[in-house]
A and B are shown apart, each in its own frame.
Chain A
């Protein structure tokens, strides 16, 4: 597998005001030293609860957010110096959560989809028009829909349009930031199927940012779990779901309700105590130690590194869970 995009020690800190109008010294550590590698043609999911930093990390990777420290590399070349920002933007596109907010209501659908092509000066008007028709048909709409306006479409269709726009410049990576979260259950499954078809055809890679672990299981090749600005675990999807090694991953998976009453009534849940601490004042040592059911004295002082943990994957935990034996499928590669 070849590396497409990688970040090293990526850190995003937001300053917060100490008092009225005065800029304090304190910062929110939204993303704190994350290294992650995305492979060409694969889907990496980034999961975690609200405030864990998954969207900030995605925005920093997309160069939509200025990072405080660290590097983002495309094909091993640092973005900004080795790779120009225009080339980067053409290669890396994004689909956001809310298809109502991400399409300009006064712009025809065709015009919206054409916009990135114009920005990157790709082709003449005829070629661009042809491309618009192509991507619209690719996402299951009609080429003639280009003349219509967003309000004429349902939520699911609008998300198809947003996907068409992302696909138009032929990107190598599409970041899907909660791209199916706002859709109805029956429509979600359609969009998931569409994303998979597009990938099988064109071999593009996805970074799938989501809080929905049920959907992630369906789309991801590897899954990275975040907690309070740090990666705590990254592994192949099968391994991570059947044999989580970090206690937080285990608790997260056990909290997901499943559509099966007999399973629901018999399963044991790990109920996490307390609240997620503020990212402005993360706990010393392992950031999860204040809520971890397996906490030891060492966890309170010594932050664990994200290290390879046989038989597969990487985990940031001093006392990881024992592996459940299962068949080996895939390992992620972290920078």
Chain B
């Protein structure tokens, strides 16, 4: 069942020159028990998309002129404020990149979790504290009873992120949105947090929307992957299909920009140029100015996101088999 359904989302932001488009027709769905990764570089719109689900982009600077976001069938973009507040941290929970700024330094960990629970559920303080202890145990924090009475500064970065995951889980959400949850952490800590997210996702049958720029994290976590570029989804596929058979030259370029294995010293092929600035997107395919394969029509004609084969979607005007053939030739040339 689709727990989250984003349908033709458009988001604008107010600039000195009037409203500029940041998200331009994004559609996606996340089912219960499924992990979907939203990948892209800075400015691609991946975080704005994630924040739109709970309308956390600061309004009125950000506006939603078109589209719908349905959480368990109800449109959050048209929800009354009261219902939206109940959804935030209730049905849908979020975990952000920086565990330090997400916690209040002046309050004990336990009090912050208890407050989050009581904001959503009619529960006594004692019961809420018991639930807090339970979720701290869930996220594998040692001596959870003692941690409840500690302040954020007494915990390490990895432990703070566990506390935030615990807090997110406290009200039994059905959808968890995690925006770069391990980007600020060291690799050994990251490995533990990702493992934890996988275990908890399975245990609670969570729908997990994971926003990240790290293709290694995607390979480890994703059932399905959505690649964003300049405010649009440019490719969407099951994880293996995307990694082993990328059908949009941008995805292929992204994969060639990173080593395939830890011990892989086989050279990287960068994508020339830089991602376009906000709104500076041109008429045709937004990746065309950096694309090796671009043809004249790519610069004028915008490609739609269409099915290549099976559930594999891509926004590219070029012929699928042509893209495949030229990808192989390019890989072989790079290997020599």
Interface pair A260/B158, CB less than 8 Å apart: no
Question: Count the B residues whose beta carbon is within 8 Å of the partner chain — how many?
Answer: 50
- Bound complex: CA A264 to CA B218 (Å): 10
Task: Give A257 to B217 CA distance when docked, in angstroms.
Answer: 6
Task: Look across to chain A and name the residue whose beta carbon is closest to the beta carbon of B184.
Answer: A50
Is there contact, CB below 8 Å, between B269 and A189? yes
B270 and A187: CB pair below 8 A?
A: yes
In the complex, A165 Cα to B62 Cα: how many Å?
A: 39
In the bound complex, how far is the Cα of B193 from the Cα of A271, in angstroms? 11
A257 lies within 8 A of B216 (CB):
yes
Interface size class of A (residues with CB under 8 A): 35 or more
Stretch at the interface among B67-75, B121-129, B260-268: B260-268
Which of B159, B256, B259 gathers the greatest number of chain A CB atoms within 10 Å? B259
Q: Say which one of B99-107, B200-208, B271-279 lies at the interface with A.
A: B271-279
Q: Are the CB atoms of A186 and B275 closer together than 8 Å?
A: yes
Check A192–B268 contact: CB distance below 8 A.
Answer: yes
B195 at the A interface (CB under 8 A): yes
Across the interface, do B264 and A217 meet the contact criterion of CB distance under 8 Å?
A: yes
Q: A217 and B268: CB pair below 8 A?
A: no
Complex CA gap A49/B262 in Å reads 16
How many residue-residue contacts, CB under 8 A, span A and B? 141
Give A47's nearest chain B residue, CB to CB: B187
Q: Mark A165-209, 1 if CB is under 8 A from B, else 0.
A: 000000000000000000011111110110000000000000000
Q: Does A211 contact B (CB under 8 A)?
A: yes
Task: Provide the residues of chain B in CB contact with A253, threshold 8 Å.
Answer: 262-263
A27 at the interface (CB under 8 A from B): no
Q: Which residues of chain A are near B261, meaning CB under 8 Å?
A: 258, 260, 263
Choose among B187, B239, B277 the residue with the greatest number of A CB atoms under 10 Å from its CB: B187
* Chain B residues whose C-beta falls within 8 Å of the C-beta of A254 in the assembled complex: 191
Is A264 in contact with B264, judged by CB distance below 8 angstroms? no
A218 touches B262 (CB 8 A): no
Within 8 A of B (CB), among A211-265: 211, 213-215, 217-218, 237-238, 241-242, 251-264
A141 to chain B, nearest CB (A): 13
CB-CB under 8 A from A282, the residues of chain B are: none
State in angstroms the CA–CA spacing of A258 and B205 once bound together.
26
B contact residues around A241 at 8 Å (CB): 262-263, 265
Contact A258 B262 (CB under 8 A): yes
CB A29 to nearest CB in B, in angstroms, measures: 18
Q: Does B253 contact A (CB under 8 A)?
A: yes
A185-B213 contact given A261-B219, A263-B219, A275-B159, CB 8 Å threshold: yes
Taken residue by residue from 251 to 292, chain A's Cβ proximity to chain B (1 for < 8 Å, 0 otherwise) reads as 111111111111110000101100110000000000000000
Q: How far is the CA of A190 from the CA of B275 in the complex (A)?
A: 13
Q: Any chain A CB within 8 A of the CB of B257?
A: yes
Q: Chain B nearest CB: distance from A214 CB in Å? A: 5
Interface: A156 (CB within 8 A): yes
A63 interface hit (Cβ, 8 Å): no
A residues adjacent to B (C-beta < 8 A): 49-50, 154-157, 184-190, 192-193, 211, 213-215, 217-218, 237-238, 241-242, 251-264, 269, 271-272, 275-276
Sorted nearest first, the 4 A-B pairs with minimum C-beta distance are A257-B216, A189-B270, A259-B215, A49-B186
- Additional pairs, 12, CB under 8 Å, beyond known A186-B257, A211-B186: A184-B42, A188-B257, A189-B258, A217-B259, A218-B259, A252-B188, A257-B214, A258-B260, A259-B218, A260-B260, A269-B191, A272-B188
Question: Which of B's residues lie within 8 Å of A, judged by CB?
Answer: 41-42, 156-159, 186-192, 194-195, 213-220, 222, 239-240, 243, 253-265, 267-272, 274-275, 277, 290
7 A-B residue contacts at CB 8 Å?
A: A184-B274, A189-B256, A190-B272, A217-B259, A242-B263, A258-B264, A261-B240
